[in-house]
Amino acid sequence: MKELRGEQGGMKKEGDVAAALKLFLDKKYGRLWHVVLVRGSFWMNYSHEKDASLQFRDGPYSILVWKTSDQ
């Protein structure tokens, strides 16, 4: 996350962090990843491929990523 946030050269915009994380996931694990970066509370209901969903916190942000099928 430090590289995605740009801590070496200043904070990136939240949208840039989400886009960079999506690009990384698409390249490493195949396409159709979705990334949401949220500050504060959230409620969510979604579908995803088996074993392809992750939620974690980084500072004030909650990061949600999941992959959907291309079929």
Q: CATH number of the domain that 63 lies in? A: 3.30.740.10
Sheet holding 53-58, edge to edge: 33-39, 61-67, 53-58
The DSSP line for 24-68 is HHHHHH-S-EEEEEEES---------TT-EEEEEETTEEEEEEE-
pTM summary value: 0.78
Question: What is the domain extent for residue 33?
Answer: 2-67
* Helix, strand or coil, per DSSP, at residue 5: helix
In tens, the pLDDT along 18-34 reads 999 999 999 999 999 99
Q: What is the pLDDT of residues 39-59, one digit of tens each?
A: 988 888 888 999 999 999 988
Domain count, the chain: 1
For the residues 9-17, what does the mean pLDDT come to?
75
β-bridge partners, 66:
34, 53
User: How many whole angstroms separate alpha carbon 48 and alpha carbon 67?
Assistant: 5
